[in-house]
Amino acid sequence: MTNILPGPVDSPLARMRVVLVRTSHPGNIGASARAMYTMGLARLVLVAPAKFPHAEALALATGAASVLEGAAVAATLAEALAGCALAIGLSARPRAFAGRVMSVREASREAIARTRDGEVALVFGTEMSGLSNEELAQCGIAATIPANPDYASLNLAAAVQVAAYELRIAAGEGDVWRAPRFARATHDDVESLYAHAERTLADMRFLDRKRPRLLMPRLRRLFGRAGLEREEVNVLRGILARVDELIGRTPR
Amino acid sequence: MTNILPGPVDSPLARMRVVLVRTSHPGNIGASARAMYTMGLARLVLVAPAKFPHAEALALATGAASVLEGAAVAATLAEALAGCALAIGLSARPRAFAGRVMSVREASREAIARTRDGEVALVFGTEMSGLSNEELAQCGIAATIPANPDYASLNLAAAVQVAAYELRIAAGEGDVWRAPRFARATHDDVESLYAHAERTLADMRFLDRKRPRLLMPRLRRLFGRAGLEREEVNVLRGILARVDELIGRTPR
């Protein structure tokens, strides 16, 4: 059987397909599409969905409507898995499963590695009972999301979110937004600041040069921990220069 | 201000509180409670929720109704954070944040470590716009969930699910269910199997002892990779013994 989803397969995440089996509630299909797309997954296959397409699916997909529009519908799980290099079934307790059982984190690393061979499917069962033994047997790996043993019932879309998140990190796309870094102060800038501070503190008679105690080491420790930026050194030296003026000293 | 949530704080996860700020939709409060509880988190504080309590929250919490029942409602974020050792704000792009920015995985490790000092709060903003700059400024760390730069809009409860999942793993509660392991075959068991197989295959004239090629090495490689269990060795020897009978040999 040929691949039922056409389209580009140029990155590991683009080679992942999410398969939802016999989903009861169309809202869960939409929420799963949203969860996928937030992590960069876009290929969705629905096996015998109770209701699809459906307005509630579209409403819960919000900005991920394109994932629903591109979704394929398959009559059987076998059809949904055709053309895949590997299928990974999500299961809370894969008791009757003969293959390898691993955490979703381990399974995600395996999934990304196997995208070298072709598409990899991530398979989710129904809201009420997950994948049947027969369905799970069609998968090469059973993946489990660690959970509270007293209440391990993740919502379907929440399980898709966790698995998609782990796939994104496994694919090396786990970078988070960082604030732009400002120029760090040089060693000389910082030493000049400490020298200036020591003079001014002495002039203020806050520091007694004959009995300096730990004042300067404490200031060094504080600013060293912060990691001063060049602009911050300028601000601090400006404050010191103003103190110098107020106590009648000219800046040296 | 004293701790607004009473209760036991005997494990790292029991010292985590989830704070939802100005949540618009009661369904998201219920789904967040469910997400928390699947990962073993139970302490929820709601800051100025639009509607609470509400039937829709209860419906989406499913088996986690106890989390909703135990939830505290606070008028302000400052009240919700009272008594905490650390507050971590979830934010997609903490542009104006002066503190440390880290991934939710890094932040979860920090959170669990800091539960030694007291409770740690995980703070989530509104569905539409997240935390305001003023709210995030009340947090010591901004945590970011890696996401698709073209569509980084996780559902509120989905974000709670990912963060709670990372906390559970950081707390060392990431073990997944494993099938019980059966007794492995001993070296001697396995070598006796290979010896038996070689005799039988020769008797069947499938193996030519003068030109054995790679048959036995290939079988050794296959079974070695599988890691034979004792019971499996017994089954395989039973099959060989039956072949022995059929071709008129008595088992040796």
The CA distance from B48 to B74, in Å, is 6
Determine whether the interchain pair B31/A155 forms a contact, defined as Cβ–Cβ distance below 8 Å.
yes
User: Does residue B154 lie in a domain region?
Assistant: yes
For an interface test with B, the pick among A11, A32, A148, A154 (most B C-beta atoms closer than 10 Å) comes out as: A148
pLDDT reported for residue B235: 86
Task: Please state whether B127 falls in left (phi above 0), alpha (psi between -120 and 50) or beta.
Answer: alpha
Same domain, A125 and A223: no
Q: What are phi and psi of A156, to 5 degrees?
A: -55, -50
- List the domain range (segments joined by +) for residue A166: 13-170
pLDDT reported for residue B246: 84
Residues 228-247 of B with CB under 8 A from A: none
Same domain, B224 and B123: no
The answer for residues whose C-beta is within 8 angstroms of residue B129's C-beta and 6 or more apart is none
Same domain, B41 and B103: yes
Q: Mean pLDDT of all residues in chain A?
A: 90
The CA distance from B33 to A145, in Å, is 18
Q: What's the CATH code of the domain at A147?
A: 3.40.1280.10
Q: What are phi and psi of B84, to 5 degrees?
A: -85, 150
Strand partners, A18: A44, A122
The CA distance from B87 to B80, in Å, is 10
Strand partners, B120: B16, B86
Same domain, A23 and A114: yes
User: Does residue B67 lie in a domain region?
Assistant: yes
pTM tops 0.90? no
Same domain, A58 and A158: yes
Q: Look at A6-20, A32-46, A196-210 and tell me which has the smallest mean pLDDT.
A: A6-20
Contact residues, chain A, for B97 at CB < 8 Å: 179
pLDDT reported for residue A132: 95
Determine whether the interchain pair A153/B38 forms a contact, defined as Cβ–Cβ distance below 8 Å.
yes
Total domains, chain B: 2
For an interface test with A, the pick among B38, B56, B103, B127 (most A C-beta atoms closer than 10 Å) comes out as: B38
The shortest CB-CB distance from A38 to any of B153, B174, B179 is to B153
A190 vs B: CB within 8 A: no
The CA distance from B33 to B145, in Å, is 19
CA distance A219 to chain B (A): 20
The CA distance from A201 to A240, in Å, is 9
Nearest residue of B to residue A158 by CA position?
A: B158
Same domain, A58 and A157: yes
The pLDDT of A26-31, averaged and rounded, is 98
Determine whether the interchain pair A97/B179 forms a contact, defined as Cβ–Cβ distance below 8 Å.
yes
Same domain, B160 and B197: no
Determine whether the interchain pair A148/B38 forms a contact, defined as Cβ–Cβ distance below 8 Å.
yes
Give the rounded distance of the alpha carbon of B223 from its chain centre: 32
Q: Give A176's pLDDT tier (boundaries 50, 70, 90).
A: confident
Nearest to B2 by CA among B89, B115, B80: B80
Q: Angle at Cα B66 formed by Cα B92 and Cα B4, nearest 5°?
A: 65
A1 vs B164 pLDDT, higher one: B164
Same domain, A166 and A191: no
Same domain, B205 and B97: no
Q: What's the CATH code of the domain at B206?
A: 1.10.8.590
The pLDDT of A232-247, averaged and rounded, is 87
Determine whether the interchain pair B64/A151 forms a contact, defined as Cβ–Cβ distance below 8 Å.
yes
Contact residues, chain A, for B40 at CB < 8 Å: 147-148
Q: pLDDT tens digit string along B83-136?
A: 999 999 999 989 888 888 999 999 999 999 999 999 999 999 999 999 999 999
Domain end call among B170, B199, B220: B170
The shortest CB-CB distance from B162 to any of A95, A97, A161 is to A161
Domain end call among B144, B170, B196: B170
User: Does residue A116 lie in a domain region?
Assistant: yes
A121 vs B242 pLDDT, higher one: A121
User: Does residue A251 lie in a domain region?
Assistant: no
A92 vs B: CB within 8 A: yes
pLDDT reported for residue B23: 98
Q: Are B30 and B56 in contact (CB under 8 A)?
A: yes
**Cβ-based burial of A39 (10 A; exposed 0-12, middle 13-18, buried ≥19):** buried
Q: Has the ipTM of the complex gone over 0.90?
A: no
Q: pLDDT tens digit string along A213-223?
A: 888 888 888 88
Give the rounded percent of residues in chain B with a pLDDT score beyond 70.
Answer: 92
For every residue of chain A, which 3-state class applies, written as one string? CCCCCCCCCCCCHHHEEEEEECCCCHHHHHHHHHHHHHCCCCEEEEECCCCCCCHHHHHHHHHHHHHHHCCEEECCHHHHHCCEEEEEEECCCCCCCCCEEEEHHHHHHHHHHHCCCCEEEEEECECCCECCHHHHCCCCEEEECCCCCCCCCCCHHHHHHHHHHHHHHHCCCCCCCCCCCCCECCHHHHHHHHHHHHHHHHHCCCCCCCCCCCHHHHHHHHHHHHCCEHHHHHHHHHHHHHHHHHCCCCCC
The pLDDT of B141-162, averaged and rounded, is 96
The CA distance from A137 to A159, in Å, is 20
Nearest to B4 by CA among B67, B90, B76, B74: B74
Per-residue burial over A142-167, b = 16 or more CB atoms within 10 Å of its CB, e = otherwise: bbbbbbbeebbbbbbbbbbbbbbbbb
Determine whether the interchain pair A162/B161 forms a contact, defined as Cβ–Cβ distance below 8 Å.
yes
Q: pLDDT tens digit string along A81-127?
A: 999 999 999 999 898 888 889 999 999 999 999 999 999 999 999 99
